[in-house]
Structures are given as structure tokens and as C-alpha cells.
């Protein structure tokens, strides 16, 4: 309702801002990016983020009603029991009905909040079936992505210096552009498993509704299913040392055939399969 409306407006602003940024001949539009004066969540690009946003809308309504109710009680008490209007205060100390009510009603409100919260937690937790699994590894201070189902090749993703960004990828946002994006197919269930090589890091992409703390020696799991082709951005969300703010997350979502082509190129360059003519085919538009 209120949240939805606000999201709609901010979503529209994001699209307008996006148009400004992607004015050039970009093969994939930049969709998942923060924008100036952003207040609410970014638009949702996965089923998980849609549910996160709708739980947020529900909570916003509940919180607003509670705030209005408490404020109204407060104003009424100030007016009704002002010393001039109520010179002899009551000596009442207990009221059983009232005490039961103010215990039971908050419990009911918490239950109403807890049910969708737990459903959302379990929804975002694990996938039974995922045709693609990507292993995300946080390093000081870059990300690496492994594709075990696609021949087990690995790519590394590092921030571009400002000079390199202007030279190689001027359309990409400052501080978020990387040399090599994580590539995912759209409309596909993708299992994300995450760990870290040194300190803890946080793999967070707001548009996907995913925020996984990755920890050395442990595997954390989540999933995404990106609905729209384009570039999405996030940042490490766990303080991890000096260059914590210089290890952005960039994801490129492409159609399935384009993803398969990219996989073949990566496998060929990693020597995992005989080089095919795909290896010499046109490089992706962002390279």
C-alpha cells in the first residue's frame, strides 16, 4: 500500500536514472543499482525480493497503526487528565480486563508478524532443485565465483580503478564496476553457496533480496532466480579490512543461450574442454 506506492515511485525514478546511465550502446541494461535519494527498497528482481518487499509492506502498515494508536492515547491522556481538567486524580491501581488485553493483543500482533517472517526465512533458505550452483568465495579484497555444474571453472571479480573504468567500461557505475562480472542465466533457479578465504565477507545484492555472510571454513546457502536481463550491483556487507569498500559485487544476468555460450568460452579458456569455434566468437559486449 504505502510501501508499494512509494516503491512504485522510486522504481520509476530508478528507471529514469537507469536510462541516464545506460544512454550508451550497452548490451545489457543496468537495472539493479542504487540511485540518488533512494529511501525505500530497490525494485525486486527475484521472487525472494518480492516477498521481502511484501513483508516490509505488511510491517509498515502494522507499525503505522501502532504508532497512530499510541500517539492518539498519549494526546487524549494529556488533554483529558490535565491538572486543570482533572484536579483529583483517580487512585485506581489494577484493571484486570485492561491488563489481559494489553498482554494478549501484542502477542497476537507478534504472531501475525511471526508467521510470514518464518515462511520468508524458509523460502529464502534452500532450493530442492537448482540446475545451476555457483560458489561465491570472498577474499581480501575481491570475489571469486566457481561454476561446479558447468565444468568447475572459476572467475575472479575485482574492482576497476577509476582510470580503467573510464577506459574500459565508461557506462558502468563508479565504485561498482569490476573487471569480470558473475554471469547468471535469467529465469533459472540458481543455488548460491558461499564461503570465505580469509576474513568474513558479506555477499549482498539488494535487488535480489540476498545477503549472505560468508565465513572461512563454513558454507552458507541461498538462492536467486533473476527475472530480468541486465547488470545488478551490490557491495561487501561485512567489515573485512582495509579495502572492504572496494570489493563490489557485479552480476550480469543474460538469456540462457548467451549463458551457455559464455560457459563454453570460459571452459575453453580454462582448458577444460577442447577449444571450439565458440572460443574465438565475438566476446561479450562488456569485455
195 exposed, middle or buried (CB, 10 Å; 0-12, 13-18, 19+)? middle
Task: Name which position in 176, 182, 236, 251 contacts Cu ion (CB under 5 A).
Answer: 236
Closest approach, Cβ 79 to Cu ion, in A, equals 54
Task: Name which position in 49, 137, 184, 240 contacts Cu ion (CB under 5 A).
Answer: 240
**Apex 232 CA angle, 198 and 196, nearest 5:** 10
Residues paired with 157 in a beta bridge? 143
Task: Name which position in 201, 212, 252, 267 contacts Cu ion (CB under 5 A).
Answer: 201
CB atoms within 10 A of CB 2: 11
Closest approach, Cβ 208 to Cu ion, in A, equals 18
Q: How many positions of this chain bind Cu ion (CB under 5 A)?
A: 3
Instruction: Single out the segment in contact with Cu ion by CB under 5 A; choices: 16-24, 38-46, 144-152, 240-248.
Output: 240-248
CA–CA distance, 134 with 63 (Å, rounded to integer): 38
Closest approach, Cβ 177 to Cu ion, in A, equals 17
Closest approach, Cβ 253 to Cu ion, in A, equals 23
214, 244 Cβ separation under 8 angstroms: no
Nearer to Cu ion, 140 or 189 (CB): 140
Nearer to Cu ion, 51 or 135 (CB): 135
CA within 13 Å, CB half, 46? 26
* 139 to 178: interface string for Cu ion, x by CB under 5 A: ----------------------------------------
Instruction: Single out the segment in contact with Cu ion by CB under 5 A; choices: 52-60, 62-70, 97-105, 230-238.
Output: 230-238
Q: Distance of alpha carbon 15 from its chain centroid, rounded? A: 17
Closest approach, Cβ 41 to Cu ion, in A, equals 22
Closest approach, Cβ 67 to Cu ion, in A, equals 36
- One-character DSSP codes across 8-49: HHHHHHHHHHHHHHTTTT-SS-EEE---TT--SPPPP-SHHH
Retrieve residue 78's grid coordinates. 494529556
Site for Cu ion, rule CB under 5 A: 201, 236, 240
Amino acid at each position: 500500500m504505502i510501501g508499494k506506492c512509494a516503491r512504485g515511485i522510486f522504481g520509476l525514478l530508478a528507471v529514469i536514472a537507469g536510462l541516464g546511465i545506460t544512454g550508451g550502446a550497452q548490451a545489457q541494461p543496468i537495472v539493479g543499482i542504487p540511485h540518488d535519494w533512494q529511501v525505500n527498497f530497490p525494485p525486486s528482481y527475484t521472487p525472494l525480493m518480492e516477498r521481502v518487499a511484501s513483508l516490509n509492506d505488511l510491517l509498515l502498515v502494522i507499525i503505522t497503526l501502532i504508532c497512530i494508536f499510541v500517539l492518539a492515547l498519549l494526546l487524549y491522556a494529556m488533554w483529558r487528565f490535565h491538572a486543570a481538567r482533572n484536579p483529583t486524580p483517580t487512585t485506581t491501581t489494577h484493571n484486570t480486563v485492561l491488563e489481559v488485553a494489553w498482554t494478549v493483543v501484542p502477542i497476537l500482533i507478534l504472531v501475525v508478524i511471526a508467521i510470514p517472517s518464518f515462511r520468508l526465512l524458509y523460502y529464502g533458505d534452500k532450493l530442492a532443485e537448482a540446475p545451476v550452483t555457483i560458489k561465491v568465495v570472498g577474499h581480501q579484497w575481491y570475489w571469486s565465483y566457481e561454476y561446479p555444474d558447468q565444468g568447475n571453472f572459476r572467475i575472479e571479480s575485482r574492482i576497476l580503478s577509476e582510470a580503467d573504468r573510464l577506459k574500459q567500461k565508461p557506462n558502468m557505475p563508479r565504485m561498482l564496476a569490476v573487471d569480470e562480472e558473475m554471469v547468471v542465466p535469467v529465469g533459472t533457479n540458481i543455488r548460491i553457496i558461499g564461503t570465505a578465504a580469509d576474513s568474513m565477507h558479506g555477499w549482498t545484492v539488494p535487488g535480489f533480496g540476498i545477503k549472505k555472510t560468508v565465513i572461512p571454513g563454513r558454507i552458507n546457502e541461498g538462492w536467486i532466480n533473476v527475472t530480468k536481463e541486465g547488470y545488478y550491483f551490490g557491495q561487501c556487507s561485512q567489515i573485512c579490512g582495509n579495502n572492504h569498500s572496494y570489493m563490489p559485487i557485479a552480476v550480469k544476468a543474460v538469456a540462457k543461450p548467451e549463458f551457455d555460450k559464455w560457459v563454453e568460452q570460459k571452459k575453453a579458456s580454462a582448458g577444460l574442454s577442447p577449444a571450439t569455434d565458440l572460443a574465438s566468437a565475438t566476446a561479450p559486449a562488456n569485455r
